[in-house]
Structure 1
Amino acid sequence: MTIKKQFNNLHAKNLISVVGPTGIGKTRLAIDLAKHFSTEIISCDSRQFFRGMEIGTAAPSAEELAEAPHHFIGHLSVQEYYSIGQYEEDALQKLNELFKTHGTVILVGGSMMYEKALIEGLNDLPEADEENQKKLQDILENEGIEKLQGLLKELDPEYFEVVDFHNHRRLLRAIDVIWQTDKKYSEQIAVSQDSRDFNVIRVGIEAPREDLYDRINRRVDIMMENGLLDEAIGLEKYKDLTALKTVGYTELFKYFEGEWELDFAVSEIKKNSRRYAKRQLTWYRKADNIYYLPLGYSQNDLDGLIKHINEQT
């Protein structure tokens, strides 16, 4: 699509959502598409919202950020609490702003619920119940996060398959809502309540699982070479904050506390990253509207994707 054609069809708002598991190469594809369409990129990677976590979250490099304008990358302090509802509101506002000058905008990230929040909208779920939250907090403090994980797995195995079960806030929220409504959380967030006035085209990259896992393992090694250990040292004082309860940091904090050896901590980062990728694959496998490129896609593959996108707009 030429720039001229793009601007002559501004009434046709198109959001290209680049999805896929961690480590598959979404950043590069998003930039390639942004450059082709002369447009900008919105991130829905909730880990990359926070400054100071660039290495551990594989945030776009300075060179990549210079290739295309990005939004929602490092715009928050790790000390800030930022809910999915706030993201939905902020990202919709930014998207509508970008649609004033661009017929096409790129969305990219592997945080499944954040993509869903922007492209579909989330159900109007009940506010947190104070009594439930107190019960759950007591369970967390006295019996550990494993007890909450077991509770959620029993109450809603479908949501447990895709949730970041190391994030206690996600567990508390889901169990609270299930207790209040007597319905599975996965069912309640599956139905969109908000209409969207833009066309969504979902694209991704696929690879054999062993190739993906090899990429993840190598990426963790590269992170360590690039200074992940020093980055984690600088963030250790924030280890109890939500932003830092994520893969790549929680394992190194255990090393700092003397609980684990460094080699074991790094192996756990790799293992937990692979587990997260598996949950992402489970989520995306349920969708039938994703156009996939192969890992290491060629220019011909990219041209085929562009043709597919143009046919959908």
Structure 2
Amino acid sequence: MNKTLISIVGPTAIGKTALSIKLANHFNTEILSADSRQFFKEMQIGTAAPTPEELATAKHHFIHHKSIKDNYNVGAFEKDAISTLKTLFKTHDTVIMVGGSGLYVDAVSKGLDDFPDIENNIRETLNNDLKTKGLSYLQERLEQLDTAAYNKIAIDNPHRVIRALEICIGTGKPYSSFLKKGKIERPFKTITVGLSADREMIYNRINKRVDIMIQEGLLEEVKSLVPFKGLNALNTVGYKELFNYLDGEWTLDFAISEIKKNTRRFAKRQLTWFKKNAETFWFDYTTSKEHIITFISQNIS
């Protein structure tokens, strides 16, 4: 197995993009983004996507390649990413992957769990329950039907909760019983490097990034997306809070404070997910990129 995927993970605003570009330039290779929010071309400021200048310094894949109107999910991404890697590994021994979406990162490096098809009406019913009865109702149902899944998944994410429930209801079996029945072998080695910092520093970096997003025109970006605010892709941090402001429900200052709070919660969930991988090599975000390059080079050989 002489091909290597270098996977860069960590919480939002920790410096993954800068490290991935440095690595891509050092190894003379290209970058795959595994950040599901950065797939959509209409969402640039609020997703902290690489700038045009950053994109010009290294070839990127899966950045702004879809529209918010497209139905694109982790299964489709896995298929596309593996196909892209197959092509890239023909001319490169090393490829970089970077992203904060844990499920999408794992889909490439480990493969997805195999779930049966479920009738659409079950999801429609659950989506209606979410609107009429709230997320807490669905969380309670999942806890009753599958305690293991309730304790494992991102319970604050309604899409994850609905997905687990539809499997439980549609199959009559716990969602957790379908998880990781067999590990998929990939034709490449994966070296996972994690960036982290103490919680206060992560939160300070997040708060600063949100302020910069506002300065760069996030509110104007969200205004342009109001006609599409019902789309699933826009039900995400940085957008849903400003929709509430534009609807007159919140003040702008409160909406910005909620973006910061919800992003901090998102970062906490990211770390919880990535810390589950015992094979990740963790570095403080202040570690020199040259030191990390030396470490990776020694582990590739």
Shorter-chain TM-score above 0.5? yes
TM-score w.r.t. the length of structure 2 is 0.93
Is 2:214 aligned against 1:200?
A: no
1:303 aligned partner:
291
2:117 aligned partner:
127
Task: Specify whether residues 182 and 309 from structure 1 end up closer, same or farther in structure 2 by C-alpha distance, changes over 3 A only.
Answer: farther
CA distance, structure 2, for counterparts of residue 80 and residue 125 of structure 1: 22
Unaligned runs of 5+ in 1: 1-10
1:88-116 C-alpha deviation (Å, 9 max, x unpaired): 10110001000000000001101000011
CA distance, structure 2, for counterparts of residue 186 and residue 20 of structure 1: 25
Residues 237-256 of structure 1 mapped to structure 2, 5 A cutoff: 237-256=227-246
Letter of the 1:119 counterpart:
S
Identical amino acids, percent of aligned pairs: 47
CA distance, structure 1, for counterparts of residue 193 and residue 258 of structure 2: 30
Q: Which one of 154, 166, 182 corresponds to residue 163 of structure 1?
A: 154
Determine helix, strand or coil for the equivalent of 1:292: strand
Paired residues of 2:139 and 2:155 also in contact (CA < 8 A):
no
2:250 aligned partner:
260
TM-superposed deviation, 1:126: 1.1
Task: Specify whether residues 186 and 223 from structure 1 end up closer, same or farther in structure 2 by C-alpha distance, changes over 3 A only.
Answer: farther
CA distance, structure 2, for counterparts of residue 291 and residue 132 of structure 1: 41
1:274-313 C-alpha deviation (Å, 9 max, x unpaired): 11111111112222111122122225xx335433443244
Is 2:24 aligned against 1:34?
A: yes
The structure 1 segments of at least 4 consecutive aligned residues displaced by more than 6 Å after TM superposition are none
Q: Which one of 240, 265, 269 corresponds to residue 259 of structure 2?
A: 269
Unaligned runs of 5+ in 2: none
1:255-282 C-alpha deviation (Å, 9 max, x unpaired): 0111111111101000100111111111
Paired residues of 2:10 and 2:270 also in contact (CA < 8 A):
yes
Greater shift, 15-24 or 136-145, is seen at 136-145
1:90 aligned partner:
80
Q: Which one of 101, 116, 128 corresponds to residue 138 of structure 1?
A: 128
CA distance, structure 2, for counterparts of residue 160 and residue 54 of structure 1: 33
TM-score w.r.t. the length of structure 1 is 0.89
Determine helix, strand or coil for the equivalent of 1:204: strand
CA distance, structure 2, for counterparts of residue 68 and residue 309 of structure 1: 19
Task: Specify whether residues 65 and 119 from structure 1 end up closer, same or farther in structure 2 by C-alpha distance, changes over 3 A only.
Answer: same
